[in-house]
Amino acid sequence: MQIESFELSDLPSLTALQPNDWGDIRPVYEFYYISAFCNPVKMVHKDQVIGIGSSIWHLNTAWIGHIIVHPDWWFQGVGSRITQYLVDGLKQMNYASISLVSTPMGVPMYEKLGFTKQWDYIFYEYPQKFKPPIMGDCIVSYQPSFMEQIFLLDKEVSREERTAIIGLHINQSKLFLLKSKLQGVYFPTLGEGLILAKTVQAGIELAKFRLLEKHKSVVPEQNLAAIEFLDSMDMSIDRTGTRMCIGKPLHPKTEMVFNRIGGNMG
C-alpha cells in the first residue's frame, strides 16, 4: 500500500468508495484537484484505490476532509495512515490549527491521532416542501458594497481567514439587510449552504429562505435558536457529526452559524 497524489483519472474509481448517506464525492474531488489550496491523495493497493482524503488550507488554518475508505479495507489502518500523512504535510507548512468533522465511527481513530472533540453538528431532514412566510424585502442578492463586511463577518464567526474560498461564492450570496445594514449572509453555492448571522432574526429568515430549495440542515449544537426553529418545523434529526481539532483550538462563534459549509470546512 502506498499514498499517491489524486489524479482526475481516478474519479471513476470513487464510485466504489461512495458512502450511501453522502452526496456525490466525485465533484468534490474534482474541486480538490483543481484548487491550489487543496492536496487530495489516494492510497493504492495493487492498482486499486482503497482510500482517499484531502487537506484544505486557508491563510491561518487548515482542514482535513473526505477521508473515505473502501468497505473491504475498513479497520485496517487505511484512514489513519491517510490522515496522518495529510496532517504531517500541513504541519510542515506551519499550520498550528487543523480541524475536521468526523462521523461517530471515525471519532476513536482521530482521537488516537491526537485530535480532540470540540462539539457536535446536528443533521436535520425535512422531507416536505417548505413554504413559510419570509421577510422577502430584507433578503436581497449580493451587493459589492457589502463585500468587506461579509469577509469581516466570516472572520469574526469562524476565527479563520478564508477569504479565498468565500470570494469564489460571494457573487451568488444572499444578504439579509435591515435598515440598509448587513445582518446576515447565505452562500447557496458554498458546500451545503453556509449561513452566518449577527442576529437570530436574520439567521432564521435566511434559514427559511434556504429551505425553499433544500430539505436538510446542519447546525452546531451550541446554536440553540437554530435548533429551536428546526424543531418547530418538525424536522427530524438524522445523525450527528463531531468537529475535532489538533493543535490550537479556534473557538468560533457557533451561535452565529445557522447552517454549516460541510465536513471539509466546518
Digit-coded pLDDT (tens) for 90-119: 999 999 999 999 999 899 999 999 999 999
pLDDT at 3: 96
pLDDT at 10: 95
* Residue 84 Cα distances to 89, 105, 143, 177, 262, angstroms: 9, 17, 42, 44, 21
pLDDT at 21: 78
Helix H or strand E segment including 43: strand 38-45
Helix H or strand E segment including 163: helix 163-167
Low-confidence ranges of the chain (pLDDT < 70): 129-133
Residue 28 C-alpha from the chain's centroid:
11
Task: Look up cell 451568488; give the residue.
Answer: 172
Q: For residues 207 and 229, is the Cβ–Cβ distance under 8 A?
A: yes
pLDDT at 1: 85
Where in the chain are the domains?
Answer: 2-95, 125-259
| Cα separation, 93 vs 121, whole angstroms | 28
Decide whether 2-95 matches 125-259 in CATH topology.
Answer: yes
3-class secondary-structure state, position 231: helix
pLDDT at 234: 85
Q: Which CATH class is domain 2-95?
A: alpha beta
Helix/strand/coil (H, E, C) string of 29-40? HHHHHHCCCEEE
Count CB neighbours of 192 within 10 A.
Answer: 19
| Cα separation, 69 vs 50, whole angstroms | 6
Helix H or strand E segment including 84: helix 78-92
Count CB neighbours of 88 within 10 A.
Answer: 10
Q: For residues 209 and 203, is the Cβ–Cβ distance under 8 A?
A: no
Q: What is the CATH number of domain 125-259?
A: 3.40.630.90
pTM: 0.92
3-state helix, strand, coil in the chain (%, to 5): 35, 30, 35
pLDDT at 154: 98
Mention every residue, 6+ apart, whose C-beta is less than 8 A from residue 169.
187, 189, 190
